[in-house]
């Protein structure tokens, strides 16, 4: 069975983003956008606006976020936004969501920035609200962090969007994945760490009575790809190429393919990939021509 591969993009690419995607998106099954409003003084595009534009521009692609910051939007309003987008797009929305992390954005936009455990509690309640808004009428909710009275979300989304929870925090975040996620999104630094996180998730699933195999695993990686080591080094030295970090695979097409197949063998059923030299198209074309066919097999 082939592994679907989606293309993730960097939020600081704004004006050049869609001209790049127009050239390269065809062989990828889905598009995934980050969710930032500011960081380190860079120009960034807002994530939800970008995704809705992509849904209209590419009518054959799934579109989601890798991942939304729960704190940025009231969850009932997010449910309404997603339901509307699902209706207009013919069912191509995935809600990727996480607890948030970048304090700069919270302070800059006036959002409270509680400690991580509280943000994860808020995420767990938000997912409950999303599901309720998509299936019940009216919705009443009284939680620790959110309250709703007689909320309506019509039309209901068809189908109900999958909820993909992003993160790897072992004590609290993966508990939310076990309890509530349809999909789990994980930035994969290496197969060994991935295997450890899977074992933690399995323990949480056992604790809450969830079938671990029900959760579709989505591995996120960045890829720096070139035909040879000399070209790889040139890209590493290029200030316009996204720097390598945790979750980056560097190498030739054969090396990148081998690394991704090991991640698939470990249990990933979807891959989201950020090509490090975008918005240039060379790395993306090379990946699509050489690596995607191996994953499709």
At 54, which CATH number?
A: 3.20.20.30
Is residue 243 pLDDT above 90, yes or no?
A: no
CA distance 63 to 29: 9
CA distance 54 to 6: 13
Where is average pLDDT lowest: 2-16, 22-36, 139-153, 185-199? 2-16
The pLDDT-based confidence of 183 (bands split at 50, 70, 90) is very high
CA distance 120 to 115: 9
The pLDDT-based confidence of 12 (bands split at 50, 70, 90) is confident
Residue 51 near residue 64, CB atoms below 8 Å: yes
All residues at 6 or more sequence positions from 105 whose CB lies less than 8 Å from its CB, including other chains: 36, 37, 38, 39, 69, 72, 111
Q: What is the pLDDT of residues 154-181, one digit of tens each?
A: 999 999 999 999 999 999 999 999 999 9
Q: What is the pLDDT of residues 116-131, one digit of tens each?
A: 999 999 999 999 999 9
Is residue 22 pLDDT above 80, yes or no?
A: yes
Is residue 297 pLDDT above 80, yes or no?
A: no
Confidence (pLDDT) at 240: 87
CA 46 to chain centroid, in Å, comes to: 15
Give the count of domains, the chain. 1
Average pLDDT over residues 195-219: 98
The pLDDT-based confidence of 246 (bands split at 50, 70, 90) is confident
Confidence (pLDDT) at 208: 98
Is residue 195 pLDDT above 70, yes or no?
A: yes
Average pLDDT over residues 99-121: 97
Is residue 1 pLDDT above 70, yes or no?
A: no
User: Whole domain around residue 114: which residue ranges?
Assistant: 5-296
Is residue 247 pLDDT above 70, yes or no?
A: yes
CA angle, 55 as apex, 52 and 59 as ends, to 5°?
165
CA distance 54 to 46: 13
Is residue 149 pLDDT above 80, yes or no?
A: yes
Work out the mean pLDDT of the chain and round it to a whole number: 96
Number of Cβ within a 10 Å radius of residue 142? 8
Average pLDDT over residues 87-103: 98
């Amino acid at each position: 069975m082939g592994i679907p591969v989606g293309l993730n993009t960097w939020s600081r690419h704004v004006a050049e983003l869609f001209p790049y995607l127009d050239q390269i998106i065809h062989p990828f099954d889905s598009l995934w956008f980050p969710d930032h409003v500011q960081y380190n003084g860079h120009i960034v595009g807002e994530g939800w606006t970008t995704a809705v534009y992509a849904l209209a521009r590419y009518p054959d692609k799934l579109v989601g976020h890798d991942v939304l910051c729960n704190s940025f939007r009231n969850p009932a309003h997010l449910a309404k936004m997603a339901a509307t987008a699902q209706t207009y797009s013919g069912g191509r929305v995935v809600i990727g969501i996480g607890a948030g992390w970048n304090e700069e954005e919270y302070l800059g936009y006036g959002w409270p920035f509680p400690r991580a455990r509280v943000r994860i509690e808020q995420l767990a309640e938000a997912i409950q609200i999303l599901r309720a808004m998509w299936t019940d009428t009216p919705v009443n909710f009284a939680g620790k962090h959110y309250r709703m009275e007689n909320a309506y979300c019509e039309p209901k989304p068809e189908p109900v969007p999958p909820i993909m929870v992003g993160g790897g925090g072992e004590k609290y975040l993966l508990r939310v994945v076990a309890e509530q996620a349809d999909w789990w999104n994980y930035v994969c630094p290496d197969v060994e760490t991935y295997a450890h996180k899977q074992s933690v998730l399995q323990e949480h699933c056992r604790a809450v009575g969830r079938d671990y195999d029900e959760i579709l695993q989505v591995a996120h990686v960045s890829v720096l790809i070139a035909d040879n080591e000399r070209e790889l080094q040139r890209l590493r030295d290029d200030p316009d190429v996204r720097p390598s970090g945790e979750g980056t695979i560097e190498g030739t097409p054969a090396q990148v393919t081998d690394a991704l197949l090991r991640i698939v063998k470990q249990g990933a059923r979807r891959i989201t990939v950020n090509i490090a030299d975008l918005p240039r198209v060379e790395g993306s074309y090379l990946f699509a021509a050489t690596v995607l066919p191996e994953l499709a097999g």
